[in-house]
Amino acid sequence: MTAVVETTAHRPSFLSIWVGAARPRTLPAAIAPVIVASALAWRDGDFTAPAALAALGFALLIQIGTNFANDYYDFIKGADTAERVGPRRAVAAGLVKPAVMKRVMIGVFVAAFLVGLTLLGFGGWPLLAVGVASILCGVAYTGGPYPLGYNGLGDVFVFIFFGLVAVAATYFVQAGVVTDEAWIIGAGIGALAANILVVNNYRDVETDAKAGKRTLVVRFGRGFARAQFVISHGLAVAALVVVGADDWHPAVVIGTAVVCVTAGWIQTRRLVLAQSPAELIALLGVTGMWLAGYAVIFSAALIWG
């Protein structure tokens, strides 16, 4: 592939290039599960700050490494072209050489592995398999012989690893067990994390189709993506209500559910009515921030509800 090289006069700073490549709008997907799992551990009297911080570091590094892998492999595979309408990609824009991005990607995943090793002291050797699987899937999202994101499995990857696995593992390294509540919360978090991908792929449907990237919206259409978006919001609300039904004050259950339903309705309306890539780029940020907001609301209800 040929990169679109930006002129020196308009070249962004070194820091802004790498911050942009890390894709900050996606980072709530790494932060949210750690927040709410730690809140659950706090409620149960098992909160362990060092374990929570290590889990947060691991999750952030996995997310950033995956984003760097996307930047590299999407360019190599021809998915990032001049027609692409999303945020600038560092390699495709000629800001970072492919070989450099590959080396940095590997470095970030190595750092994630090293941070993950510290978690073995809290959760034992079974976590090694979880960590290695997370790294391999982060690369396989757009790399390897059967890239998940190119075959409609990206949403499944996000739901599992940034929802179920992230919440369950973060709780496990603090409490030593995984409860039904942790799995339910993980489903809610994973559903909203997948919605970040829905918006991203909804925006890129035309260019992804040309590049042979068979995301769910490419395979089944925008109507399917809108339905998936709504169902994911519904799953997030259901997770909150199920967890809170027995322990929280009824007013807390109703109030938090109303907030979540309202947020879901507003975001769905914006998705349906979006007429330009700029609107979808803005919605991508909103979707990520809502995931963080959902985690904070859920956490507050767990602790004080």
Please give the Cα distance from 233 to 268 (Å, whole number): 9
Question: For residue 146, what are its two tokens?
Answer: 């059967």
pLDDT tens digit sequence for 112-129:
999 999 999 998 988 999
Provide mean pLDDT across the span 158-176. 96
Residue type present at position 234: G
CATH topology of domain 10-304: Farnesyl Diphosphate Synthase (1.10.600)
Cα distance between the two ends of the chain: 54
**DSSP, res 9:** G
Condensed to tens digits (0 to 9), the pLDDT of residues 139-153 reads: 999 888 899 989 999
**Residues 283, 38, 171, 122: is their CA dihedral positive or negative?**
positive
- Contact by Cβ (8 Å): 88, 96: no
130 token code pair: 């979880």
Per-residue pLDDT band at 80 (split at 50, 70, 90): low
| Residue 246 binned pLDDT confidence (cut-offs 50, 70, 90) | confident
| Model confidence at 8: pLDDT above 60 | no
CA distance 236 to 248: 17
Alpha helix stretches (DSSP H) within 23-153: 28-43, 49-76, 98-123, 126-140
Return the higher-pLDDT residue of 86 and 94: 94
* C-alpha to C-alpha distance for 292 and 28, rounded to whole angstroms: 6
d(CA 216, CA 218): 5
Tell me if 258 sits within 8 A of 206, measured CB to CB: no
Contact call for residues 119 and 54 (beta carbons, < 8 A): yes
Does residue 153 sit in helix, strand or coil?
coil
pLDDT of 28 above 50: yes
The answer to whether residue 2 scores a pLDDT higher than 80 is no
Of 144, 143, 148, the residue nearest 74 (C-alpha): 143
- The lowest-confidence range among 78-82, 179-183, 250-254 is 78-82
| Neighbouring C-alpha atoms within 13 Å toward the C-beta of 231 | 8
Question: Which two structure tokens, joined as six digits, stand for 76?
Answer: 């190599």
pLDDT of residue 157: 92
The band of 3, judged by pLDDT with boundaries at 50, 70 and 90, is low
Mean pLDDT of the chain: 92
Contact call for residues 218 and 202 (beta carbons, < 8 A): no
Please state the domain extents for the chain.
Answer: 10-304
Which of the four pLDDT bands, split at 50, 70 and 90, describes residue 134?
very high
Enter the pTM of the model.
Answer: 0.91
Check if the beta carbon of residue 139 is closer than 8 Å to that of residue 109.
yes
